[in-house]
Chains A and B, each alone.
Chain A
Amino acid sequence: MIQLDQLTKVYGHGAGATTVLDHLDFEIAAGEIFAVVGPSGAGKSTLAQTVSLLERPTSGRVVVNGADLTALGERELRAARRRIGTIFQSDGLFSRRTAAQNVALPLEFLGVTPGERRTRVAELLERVGLSAKAGHYPHQLSGGQRQRVGIARALALRPSVLLADEATSGLDPASTASIVGLLKELRDELGLSILFITHEMDTVVQLADAVARLDHGRIAESGRLLDLLRDPASVLGTLLRPPQPGVPAAPGELAIDVSYTGEVAGDWLARVSRAVGADLHVLGARIEQVHGETVGTARLAAPAELRGRLLPLLAAAGLSAHPVGSDAAPALEVVA
Chain B
Amino acid sequence: MSAAVGALPAQNVPLPEIPALVVPALGETLLMVGITMAIVVLVGVPLGALVFNLAPGGLFPHRVAHTALSWVISIGRSLPFLILMAAIIPFTRLITGTNIGIPAAVVPMSIAGIAFFTRIVENSLRSVPGDRARVAIASGASPVQVIRSAQLAEAVPSIVGGLTINTIAMIEYSAIAGTIGAGGIGYVAVTYGYQRFDHAVMLTTIVILVATVALVQLTGDRLVRRLTPSARDRRAAARGPVSA
> Would B149 and A153 count as touching, CB distance under 8 A?
no
B residues less than 8 Å from A78 (CB atoms): 140-142
> Would B132 and A110 count as touching, CB distance under 8 A?
no
**A9 contacts the other chain (Cβ, under 8 Å)?**
no
> Would A105 and B154 count as touching, CB distance under 8 A?
no
Report the separation of the CA atoms of residues A297 and B154 in the bound assembly, to the nearest whole angstrom: 51
Report the separation of the CA atoms of residues A81 and B230 in the bound assembly, to the nearest whole angstrom: 31
Which one of A95, A105, A110 lies within 8 Å of B149 (CB-CB)?
A: A105
Which one of B132, B137, B142 lies within 8 Å of A94 (CB-CB)?
A: B132
Report the separation of the CA atoms of residues A79 and B140 in the bound assembly, to the nearest whole angstrom: 6
**A157 contacts the other chain (Cβ, under 8 Å)?**
yes
Q: Which of A60-77 contact B (CB under 8 A)?
A: none
Which one of A81, A88, A94 lies within 8 Å of B140 (CB-CB)?
A: A81
Report the separation of the CA atoms of residues A139 and B135 in the bound assembly, to the nearest whole angstrom: 18
> Would B139 and A153 count as touching, CB distance under 8 A?
yes
> Would B140 and A96 count as touching, CB distance under 8 A?
no
> Would B138 and A86 count as touching, CB distance under 8 A?
yes
> Would B149 and A54 count as touching, CB distance under 8 A?
no
The contact string, 1 if C-beta is below 8 Å from chain B, for chain A 41-59, is 0000000000011100000
The contact string, 1 if C-beta is below 8 Å from chain B, for chain A 94-116, is 11100000000110111000000
Name the CB-closest residue of B to A156: B139
**B145 contacts the other chain (Cβ, under 8 Å)?**
yes
> Would B139 and A109 count as touching, CB distance under 8 A?
yes
**A82 contacts the other chain (Cβ, under 8 Å)?**
yes
Q: How far is the CB of A117 from chain B (nearest CB, A)?
A: 13
Report the separation of the CA atoms of residues A110 and B227 in the bound assembly, to the nearest whole angstrom: 26
Name the CB-closest residue of A to B128: A95
Given A54-B134, A81-B137, check contact A108 B149 (CB 8 Å).
yes
Q: Which of A114-146 contact B (CB under 8 A)?
A: 137, 139-140
Q: How far is the CB of A100 from chain B (nearest CB, A)?
A: 13
Given A94-B150, A94-B154, check contact A54 B138 (CB 8 Å).
yes
Given A54-B134, A96-B229, A139-B233, check contact A106 B139 (CB 8 Å).
yes
Q: How far is the CB of B229 from chain A (nearest CB, A)?
A: 4
Given A90-B131, A110-B140, A157-B140, check contact A95 B154 (CB 8 Å).
yes
Given A54-B137, A109-B136, check contact A96 B227 (CB 8 Å).
yes
Report the separation of the CA atoms of residues A106 and B153 in the bound assembly, to the nearest whole angstrom: 15
Name the CB-closest residue of A to B228: A96
> Would A140 and B233 count as touching, CB distance under 8 A?
yes
Report the separation of the CA atoms of residues A139 and B234 in the bound assembly, to the nearest whole angstrom: 11
Q: Which of B112-149 contact A (CB under 8 A)?
A: 129, 131-132, 134-142, 145, 149
> Would B228 and A109 count as touching, CB distance under 8 A?
no
Name the CB-closest residue of A to B142: A78
**B156 contacts the other chain (Cβ, under 8 Å)?**
yes
> Would A82 and B229 count as touching, CB distance under 8 A?
no
**A92 contacts the other chain (Cβ, under 8 Å)?**
yes
Report the separation of the CA atoms of residues A20 and B4 in the bound assembly, to the nearest whole angstrom: 74
A residues less than 8 Å from B131 (CB atoms): 88, 90, 92
Report the separation of the CA atoms of residues A153 and B136 in the bound assembly, to the nearest whole angstrom: 11
> Would B140 and A106 count as touching, CB distance under 8 A?
yes
Report the separation of the CA atoms of residues A153 and B141 in the bound assembly, to the nearest whole angstrom: 13
Which one of B139, B154, B157 lies within 8 Å of A81 (CB-CB)?
A: B139
B residues less than 8 Å from A108 (CB atoms): 145, 149
Q: How far is the CB of A148 from chain B (nearest CB, A)?
A: 15
A residues less than 8 Å from B132 (CB atoms): 92, 94
Q: List 22 A-B contacts (CB under 8 A).
A: A53-B138, A54-B138, A78-B140, A78-B141, A81-B138, A82-B139, A82-B140, A88-B135, A92-B132, A94-B149, A94-B150, A95-B154, A96-B157, A96-B229, A105-B149, A106-B140, A108-B145, A109-B136, A109-B141, A109-B145, A109-B149, A137-B233
Shortest Cβ-Cβ A-B pairs, 6 listed: A106-B139, A92-B135, A137-B229, A92-B131, A86-B138, A139-B230
* Known contacts A94-B132, A94-B150, then 18 further A-B pairs from the complex at CB < 8 Å, ordered by chain A residue: A54-B137, A54-B138, A78-B141, A78-B142, A79-B140, A81-B139, A92-B131, A92-B135, A94-B135, A94-B153, A95-B230, A105-B135, A109-B140, A109-B141, A109-B142, A110-B140, A140-B233, A153-B139
